[in-house]
Amino acid sequence: MINRIKSSTIKKGIIMNFTPAYMELVNTGEIDERIESLFDILTNCDLCPRECKINRLQGKTGYCKADANMMVSMIQPHFWEETPLVGLGGSGAVFLTHCNLRCVYCQNYETSYNEVGLPMTSEQLADNMLYLQRIGCHNINLVTPTHYTPQLVESIAIAARKGLRLPIVYNCSGYESVKTLKLLDGIIDIYMPDFKYGNDETAQLYSNAPDYFEVCSKAITEMHKQVGDLVIEKDIAYHGLLIRHLILPNDGAGSLKVLEFIANEISRDSYVNIMFQYRPSYHASEFDEINRPPYIEERGNVLDMAIGLGLHRGFPSN
């Protein structure tokens, strides 16, 4: 379901004449049914591909270590995301605590693994979303949202009924359940997954996810089915798929396989942010092959791959 806008005048972060995807489900009441279905999953949790099957509503925790109480580490306008998300007012970032991966090079390990954050109800988060809208952010950017999907959708519904009209960005690791994504259809405006690995061995070694490529491929296919290619008006993104791929040294990411899948199975018009900013963090120093930034030649090789495959949006050669 792709929303079109008649005018792209932007005021206080809101794209004028744009209706975010979630408003239709809010107006019909279907969003409440989705929320109920998502919370039901928490009783035998398989929100993500780990499928821990524990009852988080009873306070139990699985791989991600999150129970049913949402933890938020930071809420702020963020100016270091992709340019179409940032604009002049910034991306309204909501950084969630915990994660369903275990990346040895994680730059956010304090929040992902060390449980840095504060508990927040859905009502409190809804009020914060409205605050981000008031100060001029262009979207609500949910960072590492997977394990809190029920609470986040509940927050969106509450905020929408109080006047939220910003696009929702689902900023995730790519390690997603298609079943959960289907419950987000018509709620999320912009999907922004990582596509970390085309190599199962390194996916296991660095993120404890040996099935990452298969899982992420299916997830991104579903995301693209829901929202299509990224749509940008007056330099601001409001709907579609934005894929991130981080270059690792020594081709630890298996970049060619990732880019081939995007070009051949998703769309050559995909917006792909090929990221150069890898620096050894967390436990990366324990792995000699990734204990350095990528060389300039390695970066150039991945860009050449993308161009050769017909990809042309989002990466630095644009």
pLDDT digit string, tens, across residues 26-51 = 999 999 999 999 999 999 999 999 99
User: Which pLDDT score is estimated for 230?
Assistant: 99
Confidence band of 12 (pLDDT split at 50, 70, 90): low
Confidence band of 109 (pLDDT split at 50, 70, 90): confident
Q: What percent of the chain has pLDDT over 90?
A: 90
pLDDT at 110 over 80: no
User: Which pLDDT score is estimated for 318?
Assistant: 37
Mean pLDDT of 161-178: 99
User: Which pLDDT score is estimated for 116?
Assistant: 86
Contact 25, 34 (CB under 8 A): yes
Mean pLDDT of the chain: 94
**Lowest pLDDT segment from 9-13, 32-36, 234-238, 307-311:** 9-13
Q: Any idea where the domains of the chain sit in the sequence?
A: 10-308
Q: What is the CA radius of gyration of the chain?
A: 19
299 φ, ψ (degrees, to nearest 5): -60, -45
Confidence band of 315 (pLDDT split at 50, 70, 90): confident
237 φ, ψ (degrees, to nearest 5): -80, 140
pLDDT at 100 over 50: yes
User: Which pLDDT score is estimated for 9?
Assistant: 34
pLDDT at 6 over 70: no
Mean pLDDT of 214-240: 98
Contact 169, 138 (CB under 8 A): no
User: Which pLDDT score is estimated for 14?
Assistant: 57
User: Which pLDDT score is estimated for 128?
Assistant: 99
CATH assignment of 10-308? Answer: 3.20.20.70
